[in-house]
Structure 1
């Protein structure tokens, strides 16, 4: 009951000290539910064991360690080389070193084109403030103590022959702005470049090799040698015309390179002595031509004078070695000097291979050779020749001048350059054979000289010839050739009927100094040696008593042929003229062929009058220049009449 005192069993009454503790129930309330501890006492949580905690700490630490170790392995082993290479690439800078362009020479080794090495000196204004002179930097035995732009200027001034204060100003930035490539000097000679290199200041001053192409012979062979220019994309020097373009791959060589490191990457200072790799440039090969400079000079002089004296639009001269059929000279009147790039005509090339024209009467030589070779005629065959002749198909042809019927031999027809007589002879040659002989003598195909812009000429297939062309081709009309093609016909006749592809290339000399001759060229026996000798001897009559007497040279037997071809003018009609003379000397031992062509001469249209004298002048010089002795064998001429 409330307020009642509990009893004692021992007979003495004492107050009870036991207190019933209230323990929380499982649900979190209070009451008499079962506690976690002993009944009647409060529950105390057990502390975690130390070993378990240590194991957890060690496990976490191990995981962290493994992570960083794995990361380290990944960085060092997996991507380490890539990172190292990237860092090195950031520091490494490279620049290209130019290859020396090969020379072009004539057959005697005379230089026609060469490259002169020069240097452009530049400064890096960003790195210059870091310059500190070393003990070797002295001037007249006195050490240079100034740093930066002032110190560098003192070192460079005497070498570049400049004022030190002026140089110092150029080496310094302006208003806080710097230029990484300030040009201090251009056209510096190699000796000056060497002195700059010896200063050991490449971290601040650079020298870049440039070349100047020069042509010592000037206008002589300038149209053949060509010129160079810069490639718009690479800024490399490349051939733009003539031999410079035709043999550009050989002349150019292979550029080199130099790699070095800069502290702090591309914008930093070049680390002295840090060159990593140097690939030496390989010089280009030198090209030796078959040209002879002195003969080329004479040819140029001769055609320029011919134009001045005759009022011709232009003139062309070709000199060829009979036996090798190498070209010794190609000259165009008014030729340009390739040193003068301001003249737009520098890109025109040579008319000797670009321009084509009817060979005219010089083409009659092929008809005569074909008729003899096919057994249709001999030099003494007889013909009654009128100044007009009508063919079986009704086409009428006439000679250049009116004349009564003349009794001519085959040799006489050639000597007098009779168109009607030539048609009478050639009409018995089948049409296809006419075309075949023209092609075998080189018409209708490029010469193989390799000059840019060369024309193959115009020679249609025989099956496409109209009724007039089939006869006109017999005397050099109805087709077109270039000057070298026309010249080659006479060299072939003089060479015993053997045609050798014309060439301008004697050989090449590589960087190793070894001369490599030009490849062997194709040869063709166009007509027999007997036929060729007869035609050559027939051509002597042209010079002795025919249309080419102005070509005669004292002491030498000369064989040749005049030509006066009609050309299509600006209005579309046959209003233009190509006057020519092509000849060989000495006829008893043929050495050289010389051809001269004049377009629209005003003083006289006939090749025997305007071109033959130029031939005489140029051939005489060539024979003397090559030390050819006078003719010693005399041979009776073929009869020209009967």
Structure 2
């Protein structure tokens, strides 16, 4: 029997792990098949095929996740550490920038945000009369206010226990020093507002008592308050201020720049509640008070003038009255009075029209008081003398057929030039004055101050009315000779007589005597320069003629016992915004006539009992001028007047 040898017989067996011919390697699985594990050793067991010839044992493994291999913890830590380092570098850089490069600037900005600034109001300068008597002064007052939120959190403790707290208890403690009802005060303290005023115009001692209570949220602001110790005396001159301390009338207005000081400021470092930090940064720029002002006004004379005017208005039924007293040698106003004068402490109780000076604002026809100018011009130009003779009719018709008449009907009078003035004859004045060229009439009216403001240091003055001579119609060119067709204020009218009394020199009217600076330096007001209007000889002549008007003429009620008086009465129309407003009765005089010191005018607006200045105005002159002479210690007249004759045979 033929033995068949299997393929490969007689050949050495392949090494373990090597695949047989025609078989795949066990160690290299086919694609898509699991890997086959090999035994660590191969043993040949009888009757069995070698391990390498047996089918490989397949151990299945879980399928892999489709994502990448999970991050290791070290990598995550490194990333976080890098981020932290970046942040630290950023903060370190910022810290170096803030503290190293901008440290001072940042600190300054922070300090600036903690700083608060309060205004320190400057005290307004005082106003005094010529003798230093205070007429207006600023005093220290406080406005008390609260922060309601701080009040709500406030508490006072003692030995660890709360003694008082909140708005209710604060109201009880504050009520007594402030003089307020606790319930009313409690309503103001309760809430969340940061600023609530609880009382104004508080005295300094009251504020100190409130502050000593130590209630958090209670604050006080210093506020200067203007007071007027003389009340309404000189109120029309002094004026008043508004709630912000700004002058509204009178000298408070016109001298506001002089009286107003420069506010200071107080800057302090505050805490979260707005309170000042003890020991914190603070800066203070002191306020600079305004300058004190001294006037030429005499308070007692001003009081006397106002008192006499008020009584005269009541007695005569006049609408109002004004009075001016002037030093003839300097032009200083000694009194500038109006009836019904405003009290600057409470201006709201007086009508707006009466809060200023009517003596400056209101204008009127001077009437017969202006005849003094006509006489001065006629004598200065040589047209007439004080003793020239004139046959004076009741009616007189001019060349252009303008007829004028006197106030009282009379037969033909034989009057001297002095008599024409003393008897206040319109017809006689026209007869004398018509010899003056028309332009000359205008020139003398202007020289005596008509048509121009006096320059007095007060607001609201009217310049009056003086039309150019070529604008005068056929009647006006004669009417101006006896004070019609023109208008003036009371100060302008008074200046005419002061000029005659001062040797023909017109001095500018003024009420400012001087100012006092903060360092106590007194600066007198600039000395005014006078203007020669007529010669001293002419002025003396006219003054002597005016004395006859008091002794023998219409102004006899103006006489002052012991003193020689020169003056003139007047009655004419007054003027307002809508035209004529009524009758003005006046008397303007000079005393003593032998050595003039003062000129005083009394202007009565619309008197009902009489329209004649000699009746309603002259007695007021006598009272006030007599008081002024005694106050100024002017000795009585030491001579008997040698008057010009007023009539002839």
Q: Alpha-carbon deviation of 1:511?
A: 2.2
Report the equivalent of 2:223.
210
Report the equivalent of 1:40.
none
Alignment partner of 1:87 is 2:110: yes
Alpha carbon RMSD of aligned pairs, Å?
Answer: 3.7
> In the alignment, which of 190, 194, 217 is matched to residue 204 of structure 2?
190
SS of the residue 2:241 aligns to: strand
Contact 1:203 1:272 in 2 (8 A): no
Structure 1: gaps (5+ residues): 6-10, 20-58, 136-141, 231-235
Contact 1:172 1:178 in 2 (8 A): no
CA distance change for structure 1 residues 278 and 493 in 2, over 3 Å: closer, same or farther? same
Contact 2:364 2:575 in 1 (8 A): no
CA distance change for structure 1 residues 390 and 70 in 2, over 3 Å: closer, same or farther? farther
> In the alignment, which of 262, 275, 285 is matched to residue 254 of structure 1?
262
Alignment partner of 1:113 is 2:121: no
Residues 528-552 of structure 1: per-residue CA shift (max 9 Å, x gap)? 1111111111101101111111112
Contact 1:203 1:271 in 2 (8 A): no
> In the alignment, which of 220, 230, 249 is matched to residue 233 of structure 2?
220
> In the alignment, which of 92, 103, 116 is matched to residue 126 of structure 2?
103
Contact 1:411 1:638 in 2 (8 A): yes
Mapped to 1, the partners of 2:155 and 2:576 lie a distance apart of: 75
Mapped to 1, the partners of 2:157 and 2:522 lie a distance apart of: 48
Alignment partner of 1:306 is 2:312: yes
Worse overlay, 513-522 or 607-616: 513-522
Task: Give runs of aligned pairs for residues 468-483 of structure 1, distance below 5 A.
Answer: 468-483=475-490
> In the alignment, which of 358, 362, 367 is matched to residue 355 of structure 1?
362
Q: Alpha-carbon deviation of 1:188?
A: 2.9
Residues 308-337 of structure 1: per-residue CA shift (max 9 Å, x gap)? 222222211111111111111122122232
SS of the residue 2:478 aligns to: helix
Task: Give runs of aligned pairs for residues 317-356 of structure 1, distance below 5 A.
Answer: 317-345=323-351, 348=354, 349-356=356-363
Report the equivalent of 2:414.
407
Mapped to 1, the partners of 2:414 and 2:472 lie a distance apart of: 31
Q: Alpha-carbon deviation of 1:74?
A: 5.3
Aligned residues: 584
> In the alignment, which of 458, 461, 464 is matched to residue 454 of structure 1?
461
Contact 2:154 2:215 in 1 (8 A): no
Report the equivalent of 2:491.
484
Alignment partner of 1:241 is 2:264: no
SS of the residue 2:130 aligns to: coil
Residues 502-522 of structure 1: per-residue CA shift (max 9 Å, x gap)? 011111222222222122224
CA distance change for structure 1 residues 85 and 444 in 2, over 3 Å: closer, same or farther? farther
Mapped to 2, the partners of 1:243 and 1:198 lie a distance apart of: 40
Contact 2:557 2:614 in 1 (8 A): yes
SS of the residue 2:620 aligns to: helix
SS of the residue 2:322 aligns to: strand
Contact 2:330 2:528 in 1 (8 A): no
Alignment partner of 1:590 is 2:596: yes
Residues 221-279 of structure 1: per-residue CA shift (max 9 Å, x gap)? 1222212212xxxxx21112112212222222122211112224xx5443123352111
Structure 2: gaps (5+ residues): 1-6, 20-81
CA distance change for structure 1 residues 551 and 157 in 2, over 3 Å: closer, same or farther? closer
Report the equivalent of 1:25.
none
Contact 2:146 2:189 in 1 (8 A): no
* Bigger-Rg structure (1/2): 2
Report the equivalent of 1:547.
554
Report the equivalent of 2:612.
606
CA distance change for structure 1 residues 560 and 123 in 2, over 3 Å: closer, same or farther? same
Mapped to 1, the partners of 2:550 and 2:218 lie a distance apart of: 70
Mapped to 2, the partners of 1:410 and 1:510 lie a distance apart of: 54
Q: Alpha-carbon deviation of 1:353?
A: 0.6
> In the alignment, which of 267, 279, 290 is matched to residue 284 of structure 1?
290
SS of the residue 1:562 aligns to: strand
SS of the residue 1:601 aligns to: coil
Mapped to 1, the partners of 2:576 and 2:15 lie a distance apart of: 155
Contact 1:577 1:605 in 2 (8 A): yes
SS of the residue 1:392 aligns to: coil
Residues 137-188 of structure 1: per-residue CA shift (max 9 Å, x gap)? xxxxx9997575599789867765789xx599949974xx423234455443
Mapped to 2, the partners of 1:368 and 1:300 lie a distance apart of: 32
Mapped to 2, the partners of 1:620 and 1:626 lie a distance apart of: 10
Mapped to 1, the partners of 2:188 and 2:314 lie a distance apart of: 59
Mapped to 1, the partners of 2:640 and 2:533 lie a distance apart of: 27
> In the alignment, which of 180, 186, 197 is matched to residue 194 of structure 2?
180
Report the equivalent of 1:123.
146
CA distance change for structure 1 residues 130 and 85 in 2, over 3 Å: closer, same or farther? farther
> In the alignment, which of 621, 624, 629 is matched to residue 630 of structure 2?
624
Q: Alpha-carbon deviation of 1:122?
A: 2.8
Contact 1:170 1:182 in 2 (8 A): no
Q: Alpha-carbon deviation of 1:83?
A: 4.0
Contact 1:358 1:478 in 2 (8 A): yes
Contact 1:105 1:112 in 2 (8 A): yes
Contact 2:366 2:572 in 1 (8 A): yes
Q: Tell me the TM-score normalized by structure 1.
A: 0.81
Alignment partner of 1:434 is 2:438: no
Report the equivalent of 2:375.
368
Contact 1:287 1:509 in 2 (8 A): yes
SS of the residue 2:420 aligns to: helix
> In the alignment, which of 452, 461, 486 is matched to residue 445 of structure 1?
452
CA distance change for structure 1 residues 509 and 194 in 2, over 3 Å: closer, same or farther? farther
Q: Tell me the TM-score normalized by structure 2.
A: 0.80
Q: Alpha-carbon deviation of 1:219?
A: 2.5
Contact 1:543 1:552 in 2 (8 A): yes
Worse overlay, 267-276 or 238-247: 267-276
Worse overlay, 604-613 or 202-211: 202-211
Contact 2:147 2:193 in 1 (8 A): yes
